[in-house]
Chains A and B, each alone.
Chain A
Amino acid sequence: MIPLEWYLALAGLIFGMGALSILINRNLIIVLISLEVMLAGVNLALVALSHYMNDIRGQVLALFSIAVAAGSVAVGLSLLIANFNLRKSIDIEDLRELREEQGND
């Protein structure tokens, strides 16, 4: 039987790679894809813990997580398209209108 720690380390590694990619990428589509990768890592950890703790509640939680992820991605992609129609850009650096004005320093 494979130790639980291996599954959790794999899930943590996938989550961390997604988080790193969210931090450094400029392309909004790639950012949303990294979000999906992070969610996949979390679901893997939930299902692994559910199996090794003999409790099916982890799978119920993973099911909720998948459903909420579907809704959030739909909203995110439609916002991306609306933003693209407005600015003709999906660069994350262009979303700076709410930023504080920078002085002459």
Chain B
Amino acid sequence: MIYLIFAYFCASMIGITLMALTRKNPVHSVLWLLLLFLHIAVLYLFLNAEFLAVVQVIVYAGAILVMFLFTVFLLGAKELPKGKRYTDLPEGKALIGLSLTGVFIGAFSSITTAWKGKYTIEYIEKIGNTKALGVMLFNEYPLAVFLLGIILLIPMIAVAVIAWRAK
């Protein structure tokens, strides 16, 4: 049964990615991307990452895709380029991309996990996924959390400055 569900997710995610990347209208592309992110959130639930599944839906589907839609609306659908869709030499670049895909699939699928950590499923079930994640985040990576705050602050300033100039 679980194999059947996983096969559905594999097939539909590949199809959805192809649909998202081949649409001519960016609004359709963004909506297909929303479907892809929801599928990935369900796969996170399969992998016992409940907190990340919720973050995926809230941050990606809720914030980033709305930002994309705002941009598309600001530009206006009439302003989109009407000429050629692909850059020069698309066949050569497509060959590079396909071989890159082959290398990634080959390299990723030959990874073996010899090492096992102490966060087994039973342990995470006992204390809860979010609590385990938070304890790890704030005990082992406090500096990274500070840096993340700075990394999120600087784009905010940058976006304000760029918008100011654009006026």
A interface list, Cβ under 8 A from B: 1-2, 4-21, 23-27, 29-30, 32-34, 36-37, 40, 43-45, 47-57, 59-60, 62-64, 66-75, 77-82, 84-86, 88-93
The one of B13, B136, B159 that contacts A74, using a Cβ cutoff of 8 Å: B159
Q: Out of A54, A67, A74, which one reaches B116, CB within 8 Å?
A: A54
Q: Size range of the interface on B?
A: 35 or more
A2 contacts B17, CB within 8 Å? no
Shortest beta-carbon distance from A81 to chain B in Å = 6
Q: How far is the CB of A23 from chain B (nearest CB, A)?
A: 4
Contact between chains at B13 and A14 (CB < 8 Å): yes
Q: Please name the 3 residue pairs, one residue from A and one from B, whose CB atoms are nearest each other, closest first.
A: A16-B101, A20-B97, A55-B117
Q: Is the CB of A53 within 8 A of B133?
A: no
A16 CA to B99 CA, complexed, in Å: 9
Interface of B is mostly: helix
Q: Which residues of A contact B59 (CB under 8 A)?
A: 66-67, 70
With A10-B13, A59-B133 as contacts: A78 and B163 at CB distance below 8 Å: yes
**Can you show 28 pairs from A to B with CB atoms below 8 A apart?**
A2-B46, A6-B6, A8-B109, A16-B101, A20-B93, A24-B93, A25-B87, A26-B86, A30-B26, A33-B21, A40-B36, A40-B40, A44-B43, A49-B111, A50-B47, A53-B113, A56-B124, A57-B136, A64-B144, A67-B151, A73-B68, A74-B156, A82-B163, A84-B75, A86-B166, A90-B75, A91-B81, A93-B87
Q: Is the CB of A92 within 8 A of B17?
A: no
- Across the interface, A37 reaches (CB within 8 A) one of B20, B44, B55, B68, namely B20
Q: Are B137 and A54 in contact (CB under 8 A)?
A: no
State in angstroms the CA–CA spacing of A4 and B118 once bound together. 18
